[in-house]
């Protein structure tokens, strides 16, 4: 029997999420507003806010959508096929935007502009495949908990490569953000149908697993920061930069798919929800390129952390999961992190 949620406990969920997200939007409003002249600055800030809200929603809905795709408790499709289709969708959208704004076609280009994105795509492809291999040396719960360490690796590399000296209270904010992710992934949600009151989450990881998760967090931070450096240092329109990045993304991930294919059809196991994942992840990729071009990877980290609120809400509505004290601790930590990073001068 599934115990009903107490209504008074559900009210803080949307309000806490709005409060945390609004802090990020307001703090990044100046960056968004500076993209255009004063008459259009207000509209630009509204679009910026909509992009961040959409990204939070997409990040938060990814895991529930994957659950909806399962057949008999298993993922019926090839993960590499989804990655290839997602990268291809990003490429098609970038080409469409480029055709729509033909003025960008007159920009002088050379292979020197495109070549750096090959390494970026290679790092992303390596990380996507590393996730699969890590599952052999640790359970999924351990991976979810330890993967939060990529917040620290991203912040450290961001500070080094972009020469951004973060103050002590900002480092504390990022530590709280990591702690919030650990708290939520460790036990923020509980399935009362498949767990007893006396059972606890059992974490298991081998020495090789620890090594792989360390490499994963390093590559994750490096790929994100390296891409941000390219986007900001090149004097090219973002649409052209996306075109280079996603061209190499399609090429490399297609090679990986062909090498790892077990003979199954490319679209085997696909359903409506898989297509929703492909389209939503492609849109989110375009949004994140805007964030990295005009804001920073730190903003991206806060957006990902805020998305756990959407994940929790969808998990309650779709799968009747129960919130635990770990969830409310995570919300508190995110709120403190937003205040420390964006509110304290």
pLDDT in tens, 170-187: 999 999 999 999 999 888
2-11, 63-72, 130-139, 280-289 — which is least confidently predicted? 2-11
**Looking at the predicted structure, is the pLDDT value of residue 218 above 70?**
yes
| The pLDDT of residue 200 | 54
247 or 75, greater pLDDT: 247
Does the residue 315 lie in any domain? yes
Radius of gyration of the chain (CA): 20
**Looking at the predicted structure, is the pLDDT value of residue 169 above 90?**
yes
Confidence of residue 158 (pLDDT cuts 50, 70, 90): very high
Most confidently predicted of 27-36, 260-269, 293-302:
293-302
Most confidently predicted of 163-167, 191-195, 229-233:
229-233
Residue 339: DSSP 8-state: I
3-state secondary structure of 248: helix
Residues in the chain: 345
Confidence of residue 262 (pLDDT cuts 50, 70, 90): confident
Token pair for residue 332? 């508190």
CA distance 211 to 191: 31
CA 313 to chain CA centroid, nearest Å: 18
Nearest to 209 by CA among 159, 262, 274, 134: 134
Does the residue 247 lie in any domain? yes
Does the residue 70 lie in any domain? yes
Cβ atoms of residues 218 and 153 within 8 Å: yes
Cβ atoms of residues 229 and 167 within 8 Å: no
Does the residue 7 lie in any domain? no
Cβ atoms of residues 251 and 59 within 8 Å: no
Mean pLDDT of the region 285-289: 94
CA distance 1 to 281: 35
Confidence of residue 32 (pLDDT cuts 50, 70, 90): low
% of the chain exceeding 90 in pLDDT: 46
**Looking at the predicted structure, is the pLDDT value of residue 195 above 90?**
no
24-28, 237-241, 284-288, 314-318 — which is least confidently predicted? 24-28
Mean pLDDT of the region 185-198: 68
151-165, 191-205, 288-302 — which is least confidently predicted? 191-205
CA distance 156 to 120: 18
Mean pLDDT of the region 218-245: 93
Model pLDDT for residues 52-98, shown as the tens digit of each residue: 999 999 999 998 998 888 888 788 888 889 999 999 999 999 999 88
Does the residue 24 lie in any domain? no
Does the residue 289 lie in any domain? yes
Using left for φ > 0, alpha for ψ between -120 and 50, and beta otherwise, residue 163 falls in left
Mean pLDDT of the region 286-297: 93
| The pLDDT of residue 47 | 87
**Looking at the predicted structure, is the pLDDT value of residue 35 above 60?**
no
pTM, full prediction = 0.84
> Which structural domain range is residue 124 located in?
56-102+111-343
Cβ atoms of residues 86 and 340 within 8 Å: no
Tell the burial category of 95 from Cβ atoms under 10 Å away from its Cβ (0-12, 13-18, 19+).
middle
% of the chain exceeding 70 in pLDDT: 83
22 or 258, greater pLDDT: 258
**Which residues on neighbouring strands pair with residue 205, listed in sequence order?**
138
Number of structural domains the chain divides into? 1
Cβ atoms of residues 289 and 238 within 8 Å: yes
**Looking at the predicted structure, is the pLDDT value of residue 199 above 80?**
no
Tell the burial category of 105 from Cβ atoms under 10 Å away from its Cβ (0-12, 13-18, 19+).
exposed
What is the DSSP annotation of 108-133? Answer: ---HHHHHHHHHHHHHHHHHHHHHHH
CA 217 to chain CA centroid, nearest Å: 13
Cβ atoms of residues 189 and 322 within 8 Å: yes
Does the residue 16 lie in any domain? no
Alpha helices of 204-237 — where are they, by DSSP H? 207-233
**Looking at the predicted structure, is the pLDDT value of residue 40 above 80?**
no
Average pLDDT, the chain: 83
Does the residue 249 lie in any domain? yes
Cβ atoms of residues 297 and 228 within 8 Å: yes
**Which residues on neighbouring strands pair with residue 71, listed in sequence order?**
74
């Amino acid at each position: 029997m599934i115990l009903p949620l107490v209504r008074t406990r559900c009210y803080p969920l949307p309000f806490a999420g709005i409060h945390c997200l609004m802090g990020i939007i307001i703090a990044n409003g100046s960056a968004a507003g500076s993209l255009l002249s004063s008459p259009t600055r207000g509209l630009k800030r509204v679009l910026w806010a909509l992009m961040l809200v959409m990204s939070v929603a997409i990040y938060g809905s990814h895991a529930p959508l994957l659950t909806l795709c399962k057949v008999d408790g298993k993922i019926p499709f090839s993960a590499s096929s989804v990655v290839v289709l997602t990268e291809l969708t990003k490429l098609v959208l970038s080409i469409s935007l480029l055709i729509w704004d033909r003025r960008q076609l007159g920009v002088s280009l050379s292979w020197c502009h495109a070549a750096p994105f090959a390494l970026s795509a290679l790092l992303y492809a390596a990380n996507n495949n590393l996730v699969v291999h890590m599952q052999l040396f640790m359970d999924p719960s351990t991976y979810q908990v330890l993967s939060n360490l990529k917040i620290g690796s991203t912040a450290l590399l961001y500070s080094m490569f972009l020469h951004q000296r973060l103050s002590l209270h900002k480092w504390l904010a990022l530590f709280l953000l990591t702690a919030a992710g650990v708290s939520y992934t460790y036990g923020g949600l509980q399935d009362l149908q498949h767990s007893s009151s006396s059972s606890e989450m059992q974490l298991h990881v081998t020495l090789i697993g620890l090594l792989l998760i360390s490499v994963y967090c390093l590559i994750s931070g490096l790929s994100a920061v390296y891409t941000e450096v390219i986007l900001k240092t090149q004097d090219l329109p973002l649409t052209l930069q996306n075109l280079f990045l996603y061209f190499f993304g399609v090429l490399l991930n297609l090679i990986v798919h062909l090498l790892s294919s077990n003979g199954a059809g490319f679209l085997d196991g696909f359903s409506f929800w898989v297509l929703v994942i492909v389209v939503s992840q492609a849109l989110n990729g375009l949004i994140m390129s805007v964030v990295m071009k005009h804001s920073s990877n730190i903003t991206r980290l806060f957006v990902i952390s805020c998305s756990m609120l959407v994940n929790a809400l969808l998990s309650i509505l779709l799968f009747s999961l129960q919130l635990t004290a770990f969830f409310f601790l995570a919300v508190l930590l995110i709120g403190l992190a937003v205040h420390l990073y964006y509110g304290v001068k």
